[in-house]
Amino acid sequence: MEKWLYVMTIKRGKSYNKVTKAVIARHVENLRNLDDAGKIALCGPLKGCPGAAGLVIFKTQTYEEAEALCKLEPLVAEGYAAYTLASLQVADKENNYLL
């Protein structure tokens, strides 16, 4: 059985430097809620990746579900950031690393 995760890269927008503590609080609350719902595999800020603020790896059933969650991210919904979304096929011991 194929396993997929969905990788959201949060890209800094033109107004990203205007992000306030209140915006970050909404962002963190969103991450907590998604984590509590079992929708996040991993998330965090990125360093050394020009233009990128961070990433979220979603554990959702479909790409479309992950994309809907991207659009609800406060940094995106409030216009401070954009995003890209990619599908990642999981390679692990269970599937012999896709051999």
**How do residues 5-48 score in pLDDT, each as one tens digit?**
999 999 999 999 999 999 999 999 999 999 999 999 999 999 99
Closest C-alpha among 22, 18, 27 to residue 77? 27
CA angle 36, 40, 46 (to 5 degrees): 125
Assess whether pLDDT exceeds 80 at residue 1: no
The pLDDT of residue 73 is above 90 = yes
Q: Does domain 4-98 have CATH number 1.10.275.10?
A: no
CA 17 – CA 22 distance, rounded (Å) = 14
State residue 91's pLDDT score.
97
Please answer whether residues 59 and 41 qualify as being in contact, where contact means their C-beta atoms are separated by less than 8 angstroms: yes
Residue 10, both tokens: 């949060």
